[in-house]
Amino acid sequence: MKFLFLLVSLLAAATPIRGEEVVLPPSLPPMGTVFLAEYPREIRGGKFEASAVRSMVDSLVMAAAGRDNIGDAWRVFVRPKDRVGLKVSASGAPVSSTHPAVVAAVAEGLVAAGVAPSRIMIWDREWDDIKRAGYGTLGQRFTVVATDRVGGYDPKQTVTAAVMGKLIIGDRDFDPSPSASQTASKSHLSVVLGMVDKVVHLPALTDHLSSGVNGALSGMVLDNLDNWRRLARPPHFGDPFLPEIYADERIGGKVVLTILDALRPQYGGGPFPEPQYTAQYGGIYASRDPVALDALGLELLDRFRGKGGLPPLGKDIHWTTSAEALGLGTAARERIRLLRVGPRL
């Protein structure tokens, strides 16, 4: 297993390279459009064949870009000289993390668009989670890292919110001395965000004890900050902090496409692995609209929760509405257009 730790230190020390501005063609589907690909075969033993997943992901990206060739489709969103980050969800590993086949399909699609494998970085918060998620083979071809292994959180890149949080070990400003103040309204950004020009976000759909749902907004915000616990917890569950911080150009501003892994969604106990609350759904969603994705993901989770006798999440989640008010996307279900692509069961 070849994980490129040494390369990361060189990337961190290098002068940042700004990718060309991606000019989206007028033919792109409007915001509020979400594409869904469904696994085209019988799900055997809870496993998904990589070739089928690759076909699903390619179909989604081509639909989202309005192109009939995967290389051309990805060039709508990135340029070959961009450093492209693939933000995964690994905390639910090995039960409900982003499937390696989904990550591989995206990475190989980027290569087809002319992005060198050395310029593709796969990451999440903790290295132990990354290992459990099974990204070992990907580490032989692409850069696989975790925030806690490449410098943690940037001392100069911060966000503030009008809510205090208790600092713990791992937060950049945590001071173990007895006299130190252990609360703060500031969070530092993961250093990985400074190593990439564009982000393709690949969250795994699960419920989340703090934000209600792990998806487009939660996965980019909570997983890339320290002192994050203050930002999403009952009774507000992240409203309005998740959308306000996602709107930051250093965070959501880098996301060019979100692909939501709902092959095996987890509807209880998330974002940590709880196999008794998983469903073999076999779906993958994609959209430029992160709010619409979260609205549909929440709807799907509540469908499974109802079948499992669990209370709905939707009654407590209001940050999707705040996100729409900020212009981040579409929250109202009646204005979301869901289009299926590729072969269906």
In a domain, 135, yes or no: yes
> Parallel, antiparallel, or unpaired for β 212-214 and 204-208?
antiparallel
Q: Which domain range does residue 113 map to?
A: 32-158+189-341
In a domain, 87, yes or no: yes
Cis ω before 311 (30° cut-off from 0) = no
Cis ω before 235 (30° cut-off from 0) = yes
Q: How many domains does the chain have?
A: 1
SS3 145: strand
In a domain, 167, yes or no: no
Cis ω before 271 (30° cut-off from 0) = yes
Tens-digit pLDDT string for the chain (345 aa): 433 333 333 333 333 333 344 445 557 889 999 999 999 887 877 789 999 999 999 999 999 999 999 999 999 999 999 999 999 999 999 999 999 999 999 999 999 999 999 999 999 999 999 999 999 899 999 999 999 999 999 999 999 998 888 887 888 878 777 766 788 889 999 999 999 999 999 999 999 999 999 999 999 999 999 998 899 988 999 999 999 999 999 999 999 999 999 999 999 999 999 999 999 999 999 999 999 999 999 999 999 999 999 999 999 999 999 999 999 999 999 999 999 998 644
Predicted confidence at residue 25, as pLDDT, reads 56
Cβ-contact 244, 326 below 8 angstroms: yes
Rounded Cα–Cα distance for residues 60 and 258 (Å): 11
Look up residue 64 and give its two tokens. Answer: 């989202």
In a domain, 180, yes or no: no
Predicted confidence at residue 343, as pLDDT, reads 62
CATH number of the CATH domain containing 105: 3.40.50.11440
- For 276, how many CA atoms within 13 A lie in the half-sphere containing its CB? 4
pTM of this structure: 0.90
In a domain, 168, yes or no: no
Location of structure tokens 């915000």 = 221
Location of structure tokens 């490129």 = 4
Predicted confidence at residue 171, as pLDDT, reads 82
Residue type (1 letter), 306: G
DSSP letter assigned to residue 341: E
Rounded Cα–Cα distance for residues 141 and 106 (Å): 13
The closest alpha carbon to 64, from 292, 300, 295, 253, belongs to: 292
The closest alpha carbon to 60, from 43, 81, 39, belongs to: 39
In a domain, 179, yes or no: no
- For 123, how many CA atoms within 13 A lie in the half-sphere containing its CB? 29
In a domain, 11, yes or no: no
SS3 265: strand
